[in-house]
Structure 1
């Protein structure tokens, strides 16, 4: 466990979202540190408790609590620790308690530091910005973008505050980075949207074509490498929502997926099916939209579907198939999951 994972565990402990095992582990660390001889609760002690706990963990290793710790009901200890952990999440005199050297990012700081060129859209219409590498940006109203006039030999970087669509020219040797205050979006060549207004609680990255990597923006090199290792990858018709308050990612299918793959064929009736195995219908939809659809291929291969899709949305089409084969669907982590126990129209 590293410091980042430790801090996230403390946050879950305090907000009640930690598992029983995680809560027991934190209790065990605390008991190992103080042996139930609690310090007098004052501001200085609160500021240092988390650091002391981390040093204890580093010294003793990743301690595994005995089963008896799960039954711990020492509410006094819990009070002290919770108070300390809450302080970890607060900014005191401009310093984060757990990482005293951590600084926050801002669009203006980044622009001034690197003396970047800037485009600000104060109009009510979208503005197009052409970049030297052949990429272009559609900057939405009340948004601004900063970038160097000439990209470097190893990477292409822009800084965004607000909302923009990016059509990035492919260049495998020079990845394209979009920085917002909290996130880094990295691509090689693709099209996507980023929405990151300062007043919004959520940052959204939505992919139209290609593949996009999204990860947290960190100051330290080691922390940044760790964030990269845990990056989220999204593909067409998927999106990432980053919750600023919870510091968490959620991957999902976008609201209105669009067809991205149309087979080269003379048959114009691509979505007309007659007694077609449901598994084949779902595969056709998966190929057309690029959205992973998870189902029992053997089971649904015995169910048939007859119908023609015209102007329905992706989810309306999925729903029609599910009704025909007596199945239900849900979406999770950017995928559609089909659940079925079989169907009356099963074929031998």
Structure 2
């Protein structure tokens, strides 16, 4: 074979090359290592081909890579050859003959530029990077065990530190049998609720689709399916920090103590959009009380300063209300709450004192001209 004229896609069809990348053939490893030494000018093309092969293997991590790989290539070859043969009104040859190199030159431009490139972009590229679930679990510093929820109901997983993970259907979690390092790191692809046991000496880290969520002990939900464009972290109790994985790892490597991220408190959520790499903090759609029984208890305020009402709301829901105390110092209210939601309570208070509110970055800003 004249490998010196190969482009990145050509290497995909070479079984010896794939065996070298996968490490399944000592002979292939020896050959390609020597070949690269003799042809240093081909290094960039070989690296591109390596990424394509690894992307395919990552994509079919739980299947038989060789069989699925061959099947996909066969389909692409079949469709490309059929289109070409239809145009030239020549019979469709058997698939084995389509792989012959004298016809490959004709089919390559159709398959590579149209079929394979689009297919790789749509189905493999999101999983091929160093932040993919498959890559992270392979490179983890500790041996991992994996739980995959293939059922239609949630599955509870008790980790060695006592942390309880509720794994949603079509989700998977990889974690060490014991947390023997300075932190407690797990890897998620899908959605799960974490009830983390507090341990200030060992922060709990969740790697999920280009994000890292760091906690000491709290309960929250992470939704990070690799096929979805958003990662969502929702805090139920406590406090968590969410970072872009790239920023988090750079800070660790350089020894920086401060990392740019987002801090979330109860009833707040973070959305990370993979398309624009932007972190956004917001209030959850339906804030819930930190203790569910609290809203059901009747709360009566008679000639009470409005600041006292706001303080009670903050304690009940764990949210921050921002307002000018001086402007509202003369405002007294007579109110009774029982089963109203957070926003319903704010509506009542603001209507009573002639104020308004808006939700900004997961906090509630109250505007008022005061009471006379």
Could you say what secondary structure the match of 1:218 adopts? Answer: helix
Report the RMSD for the aligned CA atoms in angstroms. Answer: 2.9
- CA, structure 1 residues 232+161, in 2 after alignment: closer, same or farther (shift >3 Å)? same
Contact 1:156 1:175 in 2 (8 A): yes
Mapped to 2, the partners of 1:165 and 1:221 lie a distance apart of: 24
Mapped to 2, the partners of 1:322 and 1:291 lie a distance apart of: 17
* Consecutive unaligned residues in structure 1, runs of 5 or more: 1-90, 95-101
- CA, structure 1 residues 119+274, in 2 after alignment: closer, same or farther (shift >3 Å)? same
Aligned length: 244
Mapped to 2, the partners of 1:208 and 1:185 lie a distance apart of: 14
> Which residue does the alignment assign to 1:105?
131
> Which residue does the alignment assign to 2:271?
241
Q: Report how far residue 270 of structure 1 moved.
A: 5.7
Match of 1:136 among 154, 160, 164: 164
| Larger Rg over CA atoms | 2
**Alignment TM-score, normalising by the size of structure 1:** 0.65
1:153-204 CA-to-partner distances (Å, cap 9, x unmatched) read: 4111110001000011111111110001210001111111000112222111
User: Counterparts in 2 of 1:102-181, with a 5 A limit?
Assistant: 103-114=129-140, 115-181=143-209
> Which residue does the alignment assign to 1:341?
369
> Which residue does the alignment assign to 1:271?
299
User: Counterparts in 2 of 1:208-247, with a 5 A limit?
Assistant: 208-218=236-246, 222=250, 229-247=259-277
> Which residue does the alignment assign to 1:13?
none
Q: Report how far residue 113 of structure 1 moved.
A: 2.9
1:30-55 CA-to-partner distances (Å, cap 9, x unmatched) read: xxxxxxxxxxxxxxxxxxxxxxxxxx
Could you say what secondary structure the match of 2:243 adopts? Answer: strand
**Alignment TM-score, normalising by the size of structure 2:** 0.61
Q: Report how far residue 342 of structure 1 moved.
A: 2.3
1:247-270 CA-to-partner distances (Å, cap 9, x unmatched) read: 111111111222226999xxx966
Contact 2:223 2:232 in 1 (8 A): yes
Could you say what secondary structure the match of 1:229 adopts? Answer: coil
Could you say what secondary structure the match of 1:322 adopts? Answer: helix
Q: Report how far residue 110 of structure 1 moved.
A: 1.8
Q: Report how far residue 238 of structure 1 moved.
A: 1.0
4+ residue segments displaced more than 4 Å = 223-228, 261-264
Higher relative helix content:
2
Q: Report how far residue 318 of structure 1 moved.
A: 0.7
User: Counterparts in 2 of 1:1-348, with a 5 A limit?
Assistant: 103-114=129-140, 115-218=143-246, 222=250, 229-260=259-290, 271-343=299-371, 346=372
Mapped to 2, the partners of 1:270 and 1:314 lie a distance apart of: 14
- CA, structure 1 residues 221+142, in 2 after alignment: closer, same or farther (shift >3 Å)? closer
